[in-house]
Amino acid sequence: MKIVVIQGPNLNMLGVRAQNVYGPMKLEQIHANMESFAKQNGLEIEFFQSNLEGEIVDRVQECLGDADGIVINPAAYTHTSIAIRDAIEAVSIPTVEVHITNVARREEFRQKSMVSAVCAGTIVGFGPFSYHLGLIALNQILSEVKAMKESQAQQQAQQG
């Protein structure tokens, strides 16, 4: 199973930007931890980061037929991007939204997510570990989807 991790604007600045808010861990370290989990669980994982909304929309759309699931942190676009929301909804691939901080405890404008409603779930507030939890959740969702498809195929074979 292939999972694509999509990172939004300024996440390339983790470890440098506002360490009192986002912590000292760099994006490369987060990705290395996710890659380790993926290998242990037989998952293929790919990483993408962009500061540009259209590139994020394009990458979500490219997942159609190429990926089984998406872990996404749209960052600032979480609160503004109907385009990213619509792309996630259009591809209809299990998607988990993650955020390093607990957005419910932040500024009012950060408390509304445009993408949450089209995601399987949202994980917030666990620092860089949010990504690990998101990957665990997505792995479970994909395992359940696979099991359901196998069960349906068996039922059809028995009926046919």
Count of domains forming the chain:
1
The residues annotated as belonging to the active site are 22, 99
We report the CATH number of the domain holding residue 140 as 3.40.50.9100
Neighbours of 145 (CB within 10 A): 14
pLDDT value for 109: 65
At 147 the three-state DSSP class reads: helix
**Has residue 102 got a pLDDT over 80?**
no
Gap between the Cα atoms of 137 and 66, Å rounded: 20
pLDDT value for 19: 67
pLDDT in tens, 7-46: 999 999 988 877 676 777 899 999 999 999 999 999 999 9
Helices in 7-128 by DSSP H: which ranges?
Answer: 19-22, 27-40, 53-62, 82-91
pLDDT value for 68: 96
Is this prediction's pTM over 0.85?
yes
pLDDT in tens, 35-88: 999 999 999 999 999 999 999 999 999 999 999 999 999 999 999 999 999 999
* Percent of the chain clearing pLDDT 90 (strictly above): 74
**Has residue 103 got a pLDDT over 80?**
no
CB-CB contact of 93 with 67 (8 Å): yes
Domain range enclosing 148: 2-159
